[in-house]
Amino acid sequence: MTRKNLLLLVCVFAISLSSVLAQDSEYSGLAIDATPKHQSEIGIHVGHFMVIGDILPRPSWGAGIHFRRAFDYAFAWRIDAQYGRALGLEPRNSGNSATGPAAANRVLNGSLNNGINFTGTDWYHNYKTDFWSLSIQGIWSLNSFNFKKQIRKVNWYVYGGVGADQYKTYYDATNGSGQQHDFSSVGNGLNPGISREDRREAGDRVKNILDGDYETRAETATGRRGENGDETSEFQLNGHADAGVGVSFKLNERINISLDHKATIVFGNEGDLIDGYRHRSVFDLTQYRDMVNYTSVRLNFNIGKREDRSEPLWWVSPLGLISQDLAEVKSRPIFDKTDADGDGVFDIVDDEKDTPEGYPVDTKGVQLDSDKDGIPDGADKEPYTPPTLVGAIDADGIGQAPDPGYVNEGDVNRIVDAKMQGIEATVADLATDWFLPIINYDLDKYNIRKSEYGKLHQVATVMKRYPNMRIVVAGHTDLTAKDCYNQVLSYNRADAAINYLISKYGISRDRLVLNYGGESNPLVDTQNVSLWNRRVEFSVAEGQTDMGKPDCGVNNAGTGSGSSYSGNKEAGY
């Protein structure tokens, strides 16, 4: 595989990731968006860097930075930039014959113009490699579907990716005077090919000879990268593949720490020269590529607004939003539909649970007495006794008119006129005690439900029959949300009912008095959501005036959107 093909592979991998991210942001197959807005991650890392190849590695170090972003709960992508320094030393002689590995090394055998022409018969291979890389990686969280906790504290992951790298390898071949190191005494009395202790001793002897100044550029697949540019350029870009595994531990909502191990394989002919060694003899090469290994500790930080974004998705359960909704539903009280007296009002809100069968009642389950003569409508043979006769009724509720005596036609007309004036004068007093319907609203809304249109029709009918009557329209809410929010929501509900009566039935605005009570006067004493408490009540005005819109820091509350009535433009709503 050529370097051009490797770079093309890196580009294709990056484009594929961006395409997946674009599709994820543009389309969701769910009826709701179950993926919240989430934060990203940046991190720094430092650790042990080494090359596993033909030469024994020595301890060294590496460091870098990364940026990580999730595109769903299980998968994320990460851009990782890294520098690493690798050291190695071989305690066995690599140049003790004309056919040994050193004799085939173009830097050591003098075949390059800028080689060192190593003349000794003993060469103990050593190197220092500076390695720079940039990778794009796909990360798979292994415990994304562990639903025990909504926010987890440990995250296991594996990853793979591709990238580009550059490295430079050097030998410590000469001393400070430019003379070749003399390794001839290293092997005296030792057999490092068999004895582990002898290998350790030989390694110590080589270290004592080296001055630590890696001054000689190592060979490459096409020759030594010389400063004067012969045979190949100074800059050599390679493609590589990454694979790794790690585990992260959350410290708080912003910071976590990871243990991570990555293995990197460099593609192309340079893949076996990271340690500067590839010849087993002048006749053949080593069989395997060098593998770069990096074990690191990563300190990671979540970035993004905490107010409107969750933690990165690999820390969040995919069932988080759903579980919250289910918990809210399960916490609701069981609605008791018992109606012991069969009056159509559930016992939970029935103020009179023993109403006789067939007797009409109001919304609180109390028997109606429309004419206020003391006899319930269910037993009253004249449920609408004229007001002037209410004080003179028989046992069946029928008004008993007094004997007027003998009168002429003029007397009759005057009496009728007087009675009519009396009736009109007492209409307002009578109406103040009338029961008018209550309308209810959906949770956190103030648009009029279609099921309430009939009740508003009844209110409008009464107002049209008595044109001098003024009605108080009082909005209320249940006990959820804050008091200020509920004050504004109850105002919006009363205002919506007033605008409906104006727009639909032509009721004059000055006949309607807007009042509100928020959550202060519940019908059902419960802290949970309640349809009975989300209401507007109507009553005959007795000197009340409009209440202004609450001024408590909330500009609006609830929503008036939907297919039901939401106001009229002429009314300014």
Q: What is the pLDDT of residues 200-209, one digit of tens each?
A: 999 999 999 9
Mean pLDDT of 378-390: 75
DSSP type of residue 183: -
Which is nearest to 445 in space by CA: 328, 334, 278, 562?
A: 562
Q: Is the distance from CB of 276 to CB of 219 less than 8 angstroms?
A: yes
Which is nearest to 298 in space by CA: 368, 341, 244?
A: 244
Residue 570: pLDDT over 50: no
Model confidence band, residue 528 (pLDDT cutoffs 50, 70, 90): confident
Q: What is the pLDDT of residues 510-526, one digit of tens each?
A: 999 999 988 888 988 88
What is the model's pTM? 0.54
**Gap between the Cα atoms of 195 and 380, Å rounded:** 119
> What are 279's strand-pairing partners?
285
Mean pLDDT of 376-391: 75
Alpha helices (H) along 297-444: 320-331, 409-431
Model confidence band, residue 58 (pLDDT cutoffs 50, 70, 90): very high
Mean pLDDT of 529-542: 90
Written as one string, the DSSP assignment of 108-154 is TTT-STT------S----EEEEEEEEEEEEEEEETTTT-TT-SB-SE
Q: Is the distance from CB of 122 to CB of 183 less than 8 angstroms?
A: yes
Residue 20: pLDDT over 70: no
Instruction: Work out the angle between the directed axes of helices 453-465 and 483-505 (0-180°, nearest 10).
Output: 60
Among 244-253, 316-325, 328-337, 392-401, which range has the highest average pLDDT?
244-253
Which pLDDT belongs to residue 322?
Answer: 66
Beta strands 512-518 and 471-476: pairing type? parallel
Lowest mean pLDDT among 72-81, 247-256, 411-420: 411-420
Q: Helix (H, G, I), strand (E, B), or coil: what is residue 477?
A: coil
Q: Is the distance from CB of 256 to CB of 39 less than 8 angstroms?
A: no
Mean pLDDT of 253-277: 92
Which pLDDT belongs to residue 67?
Answer: 97
Which pLDDT belongs to residue 232?
Answer: 45
Model confidence band, residue 96 (pLDDT cutoffs 50, 70, 90): low
Which pLDDT belongs to residue 342?
Answer: 82
Dmax (CA) of the chain: 156
Q: Is the distance from CB of 487 to CB of 556 less than 8 angstroms?
A: no
Which pLDDT belongs to residue 5?
Answer: 52
**Gap between the Cα atoms of 389 and 285, Å rounded:** 123
Residue 566: pLDDT over 60: no
Q: What is the pLDDT of residues 420-429, one digit of tens each?
A: 665 554 555 5
**Gap between the Cα atoms of 226 and 409, Å rounded:** 136
Q: Which helix H or strand E contains 26, and what residues bound it?
A: helix 3-26
**Gap between the Cα atoms of 57 and 51, Å rounded:** 6
Mean pLDDT of 6-22: 49
**Paired tokens of 455:** 């009740």
CA–CA distances in Å: residue 397 to residues 141, 385, 400, 496: 80, 8, 9, 40
- In the chain, count of helices (H) and strands (E)? 7, 15
Model confidence band, residue 299 (pLDDT cutoffs 50, 70, 90): very high
**Gap between the Cα atoms of 470 and 181, Å rounded:** 112
Residue 362: pLDDT over 80: yes
Residue 413: pLDDT over 60: yes
In the numeric block, the tokens 């531990």 are attached to: 249
Domains of the chain: 3-325 (2.40.160.20), 368-433 (no CATH), 436-573 (3.30.1330.60)
Mean pLDDT of the residues in the chain: 81
